[in-house]
Amino acid sequence: MANITVHINGVAQTLDVEPRLLLVHLIRENLNLTGTHIGCDTSSCGACTVLMDGRSVKSCTVYAVQANGKEIMTIEGLAQGGLHPLQEGFKEEHGLQCGFCTPGMIMRCVDLLERNPNPTEDEIRWGISGNLCRCTGYNNIVKAVEYAAKKMQGAEVPAAETVA
């Protein structure tokens, strides 16, 4: 067993873990934060995406011991006194249906907008191409990210357009 300290959503947690334990299992099973999902076994789908020191990682491809001393943020830690602009964008623009991919998709987009605050549609599509969604066809996820980008730059964001 390895003794690690992980700062998860701002709270330091010290645990004994097996060296082979994956970060996603630490998050879901040891810490009971089940907003982070497991959608495949091959790092293909991105449902398990979380932030590690501010950068998005697929937590099924990271060992828990690699997170020792790091800041981990999951979907549960994102809302601070109201929804994060991305969460708001997904809600306003109908960016989710079943919701399974949504936590990973949003955590990926936090990093995307951090690196590129004003992305083009093409940059958003490439930016989320490591995260699979089976429900939305991606149109409205792109719009949700555009909504958040505007909001995070302080622009007034109109309510979602009425669909003709």
Q: Does 53 bind other proteins (CB under 8 A)?
A: no
Q: Does 135 bind other proteins (CB under 8 A)?
A: yes
Q: How far is the CB of 83 from other proteins (least distance, A)?
A: 18
Q: Which residues contact 149 (CB under 8 A, 6 or more apart)?
A: 113, 117, 118, 119
Q: Does 5 bind other proteins (CB under 8 A)?
A: no
Q: How far is the CB of 130 from other proteins (least distance, A)?
A: 8
Q: How far is the CB of 62 from other proteins (least distance, A)?
A: 18
Between 40 and 155, CB nearer to other proteins: 40
Q: What is the dihedral of CA 147, 149, 155, 156, to 10 degrees?
A: 20
**Considering only residues 50, 75, 96, 110, which one is a binding residue for other proteins as defined by CB under 8 A?**
96
Q: In angstroms, rounded to a whole number, what is the distance separating the alpha carbons of residues 77 and 61?
A: 21
**Considering only residues 91, 138, 150, 151, which one is a binding residue for other proteins as defined by CB under 8 A?**
138
Q: CB of 27 within 8 A of CB of 36?
A: yes
Tokens of 18: 């097996």
Q: Does 30 bind other proteins (CB under 8 A)?
A: no
Q: In angstroms, rounded to a whole number, what is the distance separating the alpha carbons of residues 157 and 161?
A: 11
Q: Does 159 bind other proteins (CB under 8 A)?
A: no
Measuring CA to CA, which residue among 160, 163, 131 is closest to residue 147? 160
Binding site for other proteins (CB under 8 A): 38-42, 44-45, 94, 96-100, 121, 124-126, 128-142, 160, 162-164
